[in-house]
A and B are shown apart, each in its own frame.
Chain A
Amino acid sequence: MSEPIIQIRNVTKRFGKVAAVDNVSLDIAAGEFFVLLGPSGCGKTTLLRMIAGFEVPTEGQIIIDGQDMSRVPPNKRPVNMVFQSYAVFPHMSVADNVAYGLKIAGVGRAERDERVREALALVSLNGFEDRKPDQMSGGQRQRVALARSLVMRPKVLLLDEPLSALDAKLRAQMQFELSDLQDQIGITFVTVTHDQDEALSMASRIAVINKGEVAQLATPSDLYEYPANRFVADFVGSVNIFEGKLILDEPDKAAVDCPGLGKVYLNHGVTGPHGADVWVALRPEKIYLHVPGEGKAVQAAAKDAPEGHNFARGKIKGMSYLGDITLFEIILDSGAMIRVSRPNLSRHDQEDFTWDDRVSMHWRADSPVVLLG
């Protein structure tokens, strides 16, 4: 890999005594679709604004394309930003909005017109040149903001919660469009979002930020399937977490004794001291639901767990039918609660279970994740 386009070196940003960003180091490679994901107030937006130049780091360095930019003002940086509110200039036409940066840069009329036309074509807004922003929908305004940034041919495009103001359908569409656009023009995208679906669907890599620190940096599927800690497991997707003790840890198998869930068997080793306090994370969609007494359940559970079965019993306390899946809240015999989701593969699947039914559950031995922190 060549030199990363953005290097964040031990960056800390304090507002008064509060550290919004706490000693963060990250490398973002050229051409990446990088997402900063975290709950509101975690410092992800501050980090983005430091890359853009609107905030100055208290400590550390931000190197963009090999040059230390930590103290360079925003108007002198080779990055452009799409703001959460889009910040389209309301008193200018679409064409004037897109041309603004080029005008400031002193680009000649002919080249300016040509580049504005190209940029508008890129976001499928040809023909909208003379419109005023107040005659456009939110989605269209966002495209104007995109074109206005892209026309500057930045090395990095920063996007602050780009899809949060759009409705669900449009959001899904824009997710694809942003990914396509990034493929097409090949510049680095750095996006901030609190929406895990958005992050998972668009990112090449995701940094999960919690309390100003990087909780985990991984590809979307690694983040989901191999979360590094309870915060990430819980924040990305939905998860059942049970506290337990590590009672068996060998290279090819492990077991955790959870008071809430019973003994959980894994078909791989975990690196943790024997008897350590650990947490088991189990995704709702990785649990199979059965009517009790169906022998298949126990057989299936037994088949791939080398020691004992990954098996539990309980009673349905709550159900919510979401169309494609049904979510169940089940009280285990231990009294703990577990969430299970079940795809509705046929048109009558949602009728299989109802409130207060006794049910059995099993899961594969490679499904649970053992977390040390």
Chain B
Amino acid sequence: MPLFNRTPRAPLEYAKSLWMRGWVLGVMLFLYIPLFVLMAFSFNDSKRNVVWRGFTTKYYGVAWENEQLWNAMMNSLTIAFFATIFSLVIGTLAAVMLWRFRFPFKGAVDGTISLPIIVPEICLGVAFLVFFSTIGWPSALPWPFNMGAIIIAHITFCFPFVAMVVRARLAGFNREQEEAAKDLGASEWQAFRDVLIPHIKPALVSGALLAFTLSLDDFVITFFTSTPGTDTFPVLVYSLVKRGVTPDVNAASTILILLTVVLTAIALKLQGAKALAQTH
């Protein structure tokens, strides 16, 4: 009779431990149950949406016909689109500058560039409110220019994330590749375009994705910088919730969740294989 009659576990086979499995399941449930409840209640046949009253998909129709929701969604997507584009350019340039060049006060620039990540959102929000009213930023502009202030505010807190991701990717760049390009006759710009950009492409994709989702779901800063007619989806939902959560809000949120999940999956798939192949 052997002392231990079960097969010993190899060092990294955590998945075989029952405790570990239970723990992982618990964490997953903790993370995702609220989302599933939200999704489930989008099919609830009740106007007040507190108690389950039976299955229906009619609130998807209601949400679809709700012009207010549509406008807010269009605002959110437009803001996120522009904030992403600008953050991508500014963030990438900042990352390349900090990685590539030596210049006076580099340490200070390096330290302050990620400040918008650290500063509490509420402070940034108030700061933007004061800033835009002090300089007299025009608010009565036609759509989409009336969202200028929000877009600028979003760029401010999105681009440091892009810069961070791109910098991490740059750290693994073999400078000899850039030198090889120049050695073969490439100018500074050609080497940047042909060698550096392909190398940081995975970081550009994930940076863009980060910026897009951050902008899309930002509430605090948007709330302080929004003017009449520029309500974004989160701001609108907040004002609707004050009058009670209706299932059409759940329905719209569910669609938004699915949209982001699908977008993320596509982006990961597009970049995944290549990113792996290029890491050496």
| A residues with CB within 8 A of B | 52-54, 73-76, 80-81, 83-85, 87-91, 100-101, 104-105, 132, 134, 145, 148-149, 152
Interface string of B130-146 (1 = CB under 8 A from A): 00000000000000000
User: Closest approach, in angstroms, between the C-beta of B44 and any C-beta of chain A?
Assistant: 50
Is B184 a contact partner of A80 (Cβ separation < 8 A)? yes
With both beta carbons as reference points, the residue of chain B lying nearest to A133 in the complex is identified as B280
Q: How far is the CA of A83 from the CA of B179 in the complex (A)?
A: 9
Distance between Cα atoms of A85 and B179 in the complex (Å): 11
Which 10 pairs between the two chains have the least Cβ-Cβ distance? Answer: A101-B184, A87-B176, A87-B180, A91-B198, A83-B176, A104-B185, A87-B177, A75-B185, A74-B182, A75-B182
**Number of B residues with CB within 8 Å of any CB on chain A:** 21
Residues of A within 8 A of B278 (CB): 90-91, 134
| In the bound complex, CA of A52 to CA of B179 (Å) | 10
Judge whether A132 and B184 touch: CB under 8 Å: no
Listed by A's residue number, 19 A-B pairs whose Cβ atoms lie within 8 Å are A53-B183, A54-B179, A75-B187, A81-B179, A87-B179, A87-B180, A88-B180, A89-B181, A90-B199, A100-B181, A100-B186, A104-B184, A104-B190, A105-B185, A132-B277, A134-B277, A134-B280, A148-B180, A152-B184
CB of B185 within 8 A of CB of A152, answer yes
**B179 to A, closest residue via Cβ:** A54
Q: Is the CB of A73 within 8 A of B184?
A: no
Within the complex, the shortest CB–CB distance from A62 to chain B, in Å, comes to 15
Q: Which residues of A contact B176 (CB under 8 A)?
A: 83-85, 87
Task: Give the residues in chain B near A74, CB-CB below 8 Å.
Answer: 179, 182-183
- The answer to whether B186 touches A104, judged by C-beta atoms less than 8 angstroms apart, is yes
Interchain nearest-CB distance for B254 vs A (Å): 38
CA–CA, A186 and B158, complex, Å: 56
Q: Which residue of A lies closest to B180 (CB)?
A: A87
A89 with B185: CB separation less than 8 A: no
B239 at interface (Cβ–Cβ under 8 A)? Answer: no
A163 CB to closest chain B CB (Å) equals: 16
For chain B residues 180-238, which have a beta carbon within 8 Å of chain A?
A: 180-187, 190, 194-195, 198-199
Chain A residues lying within 8 Å of B194, measured Cβ to Cβ, are: 89, 100
Given A85-B176, A89-B177, A91-B199: A80 and B280 interface contact (C-beta under 8 Å): no
Interface residues of B in 2-61 (CB under 8 A from A): none
Q: Are A83 and B277 in contact, with the CB atoms below 8 A?
A: no
The minimal Cβ–Cβ distance linking B271 to chain A, given in whole angstroms, is 13
Measured CB to CB, the closest approach of chain B to A100, in angstroms, equals 6
| B112 adjacent to chain A (CB < 8 Å) | no
Give which listed residue, A81, A85, A132, contacts B174 with CB less than 8 A. A85
